[in-house]
Chain A
């Protein structure tokens, strides 16, 4: 119950940030600039964070800039009326995954430097930049030539609600998303639970020290215990 309350409060706060009063009926004309402002702020967050992740040397700084990018993606989700996904994005990505990254960075030591001088393939950096720029321009040109961003048919799993209302209905997208997941996508949903259990077991197996069973003491520790027992006697 407390989790649901916290989620509702977060949802209200995010909604307040995104639609700062523009949902009241007498301020309908403010809708368009507010949408664009939210989009531009989110896009600036995304691109600044992504460039920071790619360019900065220190892995800790990279992880913190990753948080900025994930926050920007959450802002864009709110602009796209995907409230539940925005909240989950903040909680799961910024709250869990980046913390896990930071734990591993601290665990391994932050002073590890990249050996830039020891490149095995000297042309890799310019070629990678060229490839990235080429793919970017190629996709832009192709979509500009064909003029089609979206093709294909609709799925049968339900609509988002009336497109005129900004929240997609009175209950927002949470109810519709839950309905889709628990009816049409029930089998994949159950499979994700199995996937999470497998991931937990895999993490325990991988992180466990290989040469020691749980509860077993190494020979040095046994010798130290014996030594201390002899000293106290």
Chain B
């Protein structure tokens, strides 16, 4: 008897909601970025769960591509954050409301 798929989906839902709430609450750009990673992982968990429920490999293939895109996104996003913080001292998101070069 395996664990029913609904339990995994509830865990993924909780993870996604925690990540989304953290994205709205936190002001530190790095921590907001980590919250985006939490939401991506929640979606990955639902992909794998549906892959097992529907007996279909394409869910796992989708997770594979999400992993690659997440890695690229982290690289570019952290590069942008470093480029911004070279010019400004504050680490809060409200301070970068003027995107002037």
In contact, A202 and B25 (Cβ under 8 angstroms): no
Name the prevailing secondary structure of the B interface residues: helix
Whole-angstrom CA separation of A143 from B92 in the bound complex? 37
Asked, given contacts A43-B11, A50-B15, A192-B69, whether A82 binds B60 with beta carbons under 8 Å apart, the answer is yes
Which residues of B, 12-66, contact A by the 8 Å Cβ criterion?
Answer: 13-15, 17-22, 24-28, 30-31, 33-35, 37-38, 41, 44-45, 48-58, 60-61, 63-65
In contact, A82 and B11 (Cβ under 8 angstroms): no
In contact, B17 and A112 (Cβ under 8 angstroms): no
Whole-angstrom CA separation of A155 from B76 in the bound complex? 32
Asked, given contacts A54-B22, A150-B50, whether A116 binds B27 with beta carbons under 8 Å apart, the answer is yes
- B82: chain A residues at CB < 8 Å are 104, 107-108, 206-207
In contact, A118 and B25 (Cβ under 8 angstroms): no
Q: Which one of A1-9, A13-21, A94-102, A224-232 is at the interface?
A: A94-102
Among A80, A120, A132, A199, the residue within 8 A (CB) of B48 is A80
Closest to A50 in B: B18
- B72: chain A residues at CB < 8 Å are 195-196, 198-199
Whole-angstrom CA separation of A173 from B31 in the bound complex? 34
- A177: chain B residues at CB < 8 Å are 57, 60-61, 64
Number of interface residues of A (CB under 8 A): 90
In contact, B11 and A76 (Cβ under 8 angstroms): yes
Closest to B11 in A: A43
- A80: chain B residues at CB < 8 Å are 8, 48-49, 51-52
- A69: chain B residues at CB < 8 Å are 15, 38, 41
- B31: chain A residues at CB < 8 Å are 53, 59, 62
A interface residues, Cβ below 8 angstroms from B: 31-32, 35-36, 39, 42-43, 46-47, 50-51, 53-54, 59, 62-63, 66, 69-70, 73, 76-77, 79-82, 84-85, 88-89, 92-93, 96-97, 100-101, 104-105, 107-108, 112-116, 118, 120, 124-125, 127-129, 131-133, 135-136, 139-140, 143, 149-150, 154-155, 157-160, 163, 173, 176-177, 179-181, 184-185, 188-189, 192, 195-196, 198-200, 202-203, 205-207
16 pairs across A/B with beta carbons < 8 Å?
A35-B2, A35-B3, A43-B11, A50-B18, A53-B31, A54-B35, A82-B51, A97-B71, A101-B78, A104-B30, A104-B81, A114-B28, A114-B92, A132-B17, A132-B24, A149-B53
